[in-house]
Amino acid sequence: MPRITCELPGHDAWVEFRQDKWTFGDRRAVLEATSDDGWLGVVLPYVTAWNVKDVDGAPVDPIISAMDRVEDDLVAWLLSAWFKARSERSALPKAPSTR
């Protein structure tokens, strides 16, 4: 999938998500999540590469516990990037089903 670059001032972040297995259940789980841990648990496994740094400028791994030191606006951007990737993926032609 194409790289999604963060447009927020002061952040040099980007993220790439996996190409396949974007399920309705995951979208529903994100929309119904009642906590950040809930939606992060769904979104982070989709990440295949990224450049996200904590408040001190250190690289962060895409795991929930590492997100505690990331600026809040950047965490919110990650959710919007996931929805953007989902939308872009929906517009791509799909291979015919083999079933």
- Domains of the chain, residue spans: 4-90
Tokens for 79, please give them: 């959710």
Alpha-helical segments (H) within the chain: 24-32, 36-43, 72-90
Q: What is the mean pLDDT of the chain?
A: 91
Task: List pLDDT tens digits, range 35-76.
Answer: 999 999 999 999 999 999 999 999 999 999 999 999 999 999
Residue 91's pLDDT is 63
Predicted TM-score (pTM) of this structure: 0.86
Q: Which residue has the higher pLDDT, 96 or 54?
A: 54
Given a cut of 80, whether residue 15 has pLDDT beyond it is: yes
